[in-house]
Amino acid sequence: MAEATTRKAIEAVWRIESAQLIGGLMRVVRDVGLAEDLAQEALVTALERWPETGIPDNPGAWLMATAKNRAIDQLRRHQMLERKHGALEEQAEAVTPATAPDLEAAIDENVGDDLLRLVLIACHPVLSREARVALTLRLLGGLTTDEIARAFLVPEPTIAQRIVRAKRTLTEAQVPFEVPRGDDLSARLPSVLEVLYLVFNEGYTATRGDDWMRTELCEDALRLGRILAELVPEEAEVHGLVALMELQASRMRARLGPGGEPILLLDQDRSRWDQLLVRRGLAALARAEALARPLGPYTLQAAIAACHARARTGDETDWKRIVALYDALVELTHSPVVELNRAVAVSMAFGPAAGLELVDALVDDPALRAYHLLPSIRGDLLAKLGRTGEARAEFERAALQAQNGRERELLLARAKACETRGRS
């Protein structure tokens, strides 16, 4: 029992410390693959020793010292970075309990740049979107290959291959290990924000499988977003994305019924919304709005989420304000998915007929052809207009397209309800 408890504690330490550890090692060895290997070797050593010796007072410093000792061996064997070797060896030999505070200071000295460098490399635009997601969760989220594969319902060898190829691509592209500044940093951030957004959304509404949500992915994305906001505090869209994730995450306890079934926004018990996350989200939104005008896409989405967060009931929601925010978001993104969401807001502000007119204009859009929410939304609006037969057909079509089991069950239940209503 004690060994199992220690192992769980080690896993928790790894989740917290791994990104800083890999980032610090990468600054020294200048190779993301080697840095991760060294960190993993330190973790294996901890798994072997800590159950007997106990967890050190400063586990992060212990892991870093162990990994640096491994780095010295690697550098000696491969004759790499000869000029840094002496300094590294001298530092590692000086690590004793008496000098541990000095080591901790050395580790923390560049932690901000180390983490930011790791974020920017893991999300580098030279990588595919899928590779960026996998590498970010591996290096910054501390997830294993198996955990990433299970989260996205992809075979483990596929994820492993993506990670290996991503590391190889970064090496072949000779991606610099420096933190860009000013305009160069701003140009790289959209790639980082996109990855965090994708990870959070996959956790918030899983695209496949039998679970409606994967909360651990939301937690990882939110944790990384908060770190990024501290590293680049003057970037408005970083705070906008954090605000969006905080506000969306505040609803998570209310999004599932007793059997794990989805509960839609207007049917949720708002007393179950996490008010701490709401306050944090509104504070992050205020910061984003103070930093930039006009608002960026993540800040606009956060402002929409804030309209829901401020309404004590669904009836009190300021739908006209939401429509105006969607107008700005459509203008900025030209996304048919955003236009579809805007149609829902229009239906709530001005009636289902107005919303249906907008949805019908999107039916032939190629980007929405396989998007199950298009027939789902159309079915909802048809049902509100009393056109139950058409609504049932739309819900059934949406169920065929949906890949998430819980969502499919919900859509089929709505189709059945239309059928029952049509017979009554």
The whole-angstrom separation of Cα 33 and Cα 10 is 22
CA 282, chain centre distance (Å): 19
98 band by pLDDT with thresholds 50, 70 and 90: very low
Q: Is residue 66 part of a domain?
A: yes
Q: Is residue 164 part of a domain?
A: no
Contacts 24+ apart (CB under 8 A), 406-415: 406/210, 406/211, 406/212, 406/260, 406/261, 406/262, 407/205, 407/212, 407/262, 407/372, 409/261, 410/261, 410/262, 411/372, 411/376, 411/379, 414/379, 414/380, 414/383, 415/379, 415/391
Q: Is residue 33 part of a domain?
A: yes
Q: Is residue 48 over pLDDT 80?
A: yes
- Residue 94, by phi and psi: left (phi above 0), alpha (psi -120 to 50) or beta? alpha
Q: Is residue 79 part of a domain?
A: yes
DSSP structure string for 199-234 = HHHHHHS-SSBS-S--HHHHHHHHHHHHHHHHHSTT
Q: Is residue 101 part of a domain?
A: yes
Position 91 scores a pLDDT of 52
In contact, 347 and 317? CB cutoff 8 Å = no
Q: Is residue 42 part of a domain?
A: yes
Q: Is residue 409 over pLDDT 50?
A: yes
Q: Is residue 55 part of a domain?
A: yes
89 band by pLDDT with thresholds 50, 70 and 90: low
Position 100 scores a pLDDT of 37
The whole-angstrom separation of Cα 79 and Cα 61 is 26
Mean pLDDT value of segment 164-172? 91
Of all residues in the chain, what percent carry a pLDDT higher than 70?
89
Position 104 scores a pLDDT of 39
195-239, pLDDT tens digit by residue? 899 889 888 887 777 777 888 889 888 988 998 998 889 999 999
304-362, pLDDT tens digit by residue? 999 999 999 999 999 999 999 999 999 999 999 999 999 999 999 999 999 999 999 99
Mean pLDDT value of segment 289-293? 91
| Total number of domains in the chain | 1
Give the bridge partners for 387, in sequence order.
none
Mean pLDDT value of segment 261-273? 93
424 band by pLDDT with thresholds 50, 70 and 90: low
**220: amino acid identity, one letter:** D
CB-count burial class (<10 Å; 0-12, 13-18, 19+) for 82: exposed
Q: Is residue 114 part of a domain?
A: no
88 band by pLDDT with thresholds 50, 70 and 90: low
Residues of the domain holding 22: 2-109
Mean pLDDT value of segment 81-96? 51
In contact, 171 and 367? CB cutoff 8 Å = no
Name, in order, each residue with C-beta under 8 angstroms of 333's C-beta and a sequence gap of 6 or more. Answer: 297
In contact, 194 and 244? CB cutoff 8 Å = no
Sign of the CA dihedral running 386, 387, 389, 394 = negative
399 band by pLDDT with thresholds 50, 70 and 90: very high
